[in-house]
């Protein structure tokens, strides 16, 4: 990294809210999280020099494509703010953050605001699934099913099972842990959910099949929500710290990052890795890049992991893809309790996408 990028503050909405039922729009969500983020950072709105928005499918769910203009609509001081919107499916928020970092590293701006948001609970489930299916290669895969992503991740689970074996007991363990973590998170979508005895199992009544091996409690949530973060250059952060009697070394900063992509077609991805133990080596390399840039030698040098558990199989793969276990041995970390809040390497203590929720464009910022 060319220079350190510091985090001055941020905010997140309550992911349990249904904004459409409250009679509110995506602008209201944007405005609330922006105001809360600015207040949490303790800055004046006019200090923001550039704005980045992470959003995946606002055009489909709300009919609203342009979002950067909301900055100036909320604060008159930002009426001429340079802004941009970033789409990268579930990584949209992360790419917005990365783009803000690049602006700061290039020396173009010293203070950046990133807002990630998605409003998705204003349509029925099938329509929502169709909108979210825009991240697949439309017309080439998952075109004959009602729910594209459960269908696709069932295919991933099948492939993992073929290469290494896969016991559903451990996917249930991940689901149980993440819902339990969410119960302690005041912003989690599922924090007040109650689960009947025996639901974390292959019981067709308590945990019905969605597609193939993917069951209801394996799935991340359809969520309304937004997150905001204020990023600063080293010079700006030093002045910020000095004004508040703080030490720069005590302020949080982004230590490392990774960014890779893969061919859009799932079968192409799996074909490319067919002779390798890891299904998605590009994902493993992304995590390794972030760790290396941050100066950590091993993944266990970290205190834990927040990962993208859009389905339980995704987190299951993240365990061995990040190097916590050997390939095909993710089950050991689940069975040994390593990924629980009291384990040596907690994963998704927030509740993750399964428990906390997944407003797609907000997730990377959150």
pLDDT tens digits along 18-42: 999 999 999 999 999 999 999 999 9
Backbone φ, ψ for residue 64 (5° rounding): -105, 115
The β-bridge relationship of strands 209-211 and 50-54 is unpaired
pLDDT tens digits along 3-22: 899 999 999 999 999 999 99
- Going 21 to 26 to 27 to 29, the CA torsion angle's sign is positive
Mean pLDDT, rounded, for 203-208: 97
pLDDT tens digits along 233-258: 999 999 999 999 999 999 999 999 99
pLDDT of residue 90: 97
Burial of 40 (0-12, 13-18, 19+ CB in 10 A): middle
Q: Answer whether residue 142 shows pLDDT above 80.
A: yes
* Residue written as token pair 């959150």: 366
b/e map 56-71, b = 16+ CB within 10 Å: bbbebbbebeebbbbb
Would you say 29 and 70 are in contact if contact means Cβ atoms under 8 Å apart? no
Q: Answer whether residue 2 shows pLDDT above 80.
A: no
pLDDT band for position 128 (50/70/90)?
Answer: very high
362: left (phi over 0), alpha (psi -120 to 50) or beta: alpha
Residues 6+ apart with CB under 8 A from 212: 150, 151, 154, 155, 157, 158
86 bridge partner residues: 54
- What's the whole-number average pLDDT of the chain? 97
Q: Which two tokens stand for residue 309?
A: 């558990």
Tell me the H-state helices in 88-226: 92-105, 125-132, 148-164, 168-182
User: CA-CA distance, 234 to 253, in Å (whole number)?
Assistant: 9
Give CB contacts under 8 A, 24+ apart, made by 280-283: 280/317, 280/321, 283/317, 283/318, 283/321
b/e map 93-117, b = 16+ CB within 10 Å: bbbbbbbbbebbeeeebbbbbbbbb
Q: Say what percent of the chain tops pLDDT 70.
A: 100
Would you say 220 and 354 are in contact if contact means Cβ atoms under 8 Å apart? yes
Give CB contacts under 8 A, 24+ apart, made by 83-88: 83/50, 83/51, 83/52, 83/53, 84/51, 84/52, 84/53, 85/52, 85/53, 85/54, 85/55, 86/52, 86/53, 86/54, 86/55, 87/55, 87/56, 88/56
pLDDT of residue 1: 61
b/e map 184-215, b = 16+ CB within 10 Å: ebebbbbbeeebeeebbeeeeebbeebbebbb
- Give the single-character DSSP code of 57: S
User: CA-CA distance, 101 to 1, in Å (whole number)?
Assistant: 10
Q: Say what percent of the chain tops pLDDT 90.
A: 99
Would you say 102 and 65 are in contact if contact means Cβ atoms under 8 Å apart? no
pLDDT tens digits along 61-112: 999 999 999 999 999 999 999 999 999 999 999 999 999 999 999 999 999 9
pLDDT of residue 262: 96
C-alpha distance from residue 222 to each of 123, 125, 357 (Å) = 10, 9, 7
The answer to pTM > 0.85 is: yes
Would you say 316 and 174 are in contact if contact means Cβ atoms under 8 Å apart? yes
pLDDT of residue 201: 97
Burial of 52 (0-12, 13-18, 19+ CB in 10 A): buried
pLDDT tens digits along 275-293: 999 999 999 999 999 999 9
Mean pLDDT, rounded, for 170-177: 98
């Amino acid at each position: 990294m060319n220079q350190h990028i510091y985090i001055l503050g941020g905010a997140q909405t309550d992911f349990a809210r249904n904004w459409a039922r409250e009679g509110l729009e995506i602008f209201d969500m944007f405005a609330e999280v922006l105001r809360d983020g600015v207040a949490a950072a303790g800055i004046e709105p006019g200090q923001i020099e550039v704005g980045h928005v992470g959003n995946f499918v606002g055009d489909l769910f709300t009919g609203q494509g342009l979002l950067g203009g909301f900055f100036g609509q909320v604060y008159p001081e930002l009426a001429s703010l340079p802004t941009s919107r970033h789409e990268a499916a579930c990584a949209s928020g992360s790419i917005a953050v990365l783009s803000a970092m690049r602006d700061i590293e290039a020396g173009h701006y010293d203070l950046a605001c990133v807002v990630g948001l998605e409003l998705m609970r204003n349509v029925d489930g099938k329509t929502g699934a169709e909108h979210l299916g825009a991240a697949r290669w439309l017309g080439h895969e998952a075109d004959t099913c009602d729910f594209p992503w459960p269908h696709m991740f069932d295919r991933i689970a099948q492939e993992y099972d073929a290469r290494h074996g896969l016991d559903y007991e451990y996917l249930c363990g991940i689901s149980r842990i993440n819902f339990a973590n969410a119960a302690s998170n005041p912003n989690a979508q599922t924090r007040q959910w109650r689960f009947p005895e025996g639901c974390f199992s292959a019981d067709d009544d308590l945990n019905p099949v969605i597609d193939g091996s993917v069951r209801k409690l394996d799935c991340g949530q359809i969520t309304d929500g937004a997150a905001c973060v204020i990023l600063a250059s080293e010079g700006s952060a030093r002045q910020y710290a000095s004004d508040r009697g703080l030490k720069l070394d005590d302020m949080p900063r982004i230590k490392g990052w990774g960014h890779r992509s893969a061919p859009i077609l799932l079968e192409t991805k799996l074909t490319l890795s067919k002779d390798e133990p890891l299904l998605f080596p590009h994902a493993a390399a992304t995590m390794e890049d972030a760790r290396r840039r941050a100066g950590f030698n091993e993944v266990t040098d970290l205190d834990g992991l927040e990962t993208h558990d859009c389905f339980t199989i995704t987190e299951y793969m993240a365990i061995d893809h990040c190097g916590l276990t050997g390939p095909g041995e993710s089950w050991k970390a689940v069975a040994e309790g390593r990924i629980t809040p009291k384990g040596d390497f907690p994963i998704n203590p927030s509740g993750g996408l399964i428990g906390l929720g997944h407003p797609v464009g907000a997730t990377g910022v959150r």
